[in-house]
Amino acid sequence: MQENTFDSSYDYACQLDKKDELASFRNEFYMKEDIIYLDGNSLGLLSKRAEKSLLELLDAWKQFGIDGWIEGNYPWYDLSERLGGMLAPLIGASPEEVIVTGSTTTNLHQMAATFYEPKGKKTKILADELTFPSDIYALQSQIKVKGYDPDTHLVQVKSRDGRTIEESDIIDTMTEEIALIVLPSVLYRSGQILNMKRLTEEAHKRGILIGFDLCHSIGAMTHHFAEWNIDFAVWCNYKYLNAGPGSVGGLYVNKKHFGRRPGLAGWFSSKKEKQFDMEHTLTPAENAGAYQIGTPHVLSIAPLIGSLEIFAEAGMENLRKKSLHMTRYMMDLITHELKDMGFTLGNPTDDSRRGGHIYLEHEEAARICKALKVNGVIPDFRAPNGIRLAPVALYNSYEDVWKSVQLLKKIMAEQQYKQFENKRGIIA
Q: Which domains occur in the chain, in start order? A: 3-30+315-419 (3.90.1150.10), 51-313 (3.40.640.10)
> 8 among the known binding-site residues?
no
H helices of 116-247, in order, are 133-145, 150-153, 167-172, 196-205, 225-228
Per-residue model confidence (pLDDT) at position 3: 47
Does the N-terminal peptide bond of residue 384 adopt cis geometry, omega within 30 degrees of 0?
yes
CB 319 within 8 A of CB 336: no
Sign of torsion over alpha carbons 44, 45, 46, 48: negative
Question: Which residues does residue 213 pair with via DSSP β-bridges, in sequence order?
Answer: 184, 234
Instruction: Count CB neighbours of 207 within 10 A.
Output: 11
The pTM assigned to this predicted structure is 0.96
Tell me how far apart the alpha carbons of residues 210 and 212 are, in angstroms, rounded to a whole number: 7
Strand partners, 361: 344, 386
- Asked whether 79 and 301 are in contact (CB, 8 A), the reply is yes
344 is in an annotated binding site: no
Pairing outcome for strands 124-128 and 178-184: parallel
pLDDT tops 60 at residue 1 = no
User: What are the backbone angles phi and psi of residue 76, rounded to the nearest 5°?
Assistant: -75, -25
Q: Is 191 helix (H, G, I), strand (E, B) or coil?
A: coil
Taken in order 377, 382, 388, 390, the sign of the CA dihedral is negative
For residue range 130-187, list pLDDT tens digits in order: 999 999 999 999 999 999 999 999 999 999 999 999 999 999 999 999 999 999 999 9
pLDDT for 253-302, tens place per residue?
Answer: 999 999 999 999 999 999 999 999 999 999 999 999 999 999 999 999 99
- Mean pLDDT confidence for 36-59: 98
Q: Is 213 annotated as a binding residue?
A: yes
Q: Is 238 annotated as a binding residue?
A: yes
d(CA 288, CA 96): 6
How much of the chain is helix, strand and coil, in % rounded to 5? 45, 15, 40
Report the SS3 class of residue 180: strand
384 is in an annotated binding site: no
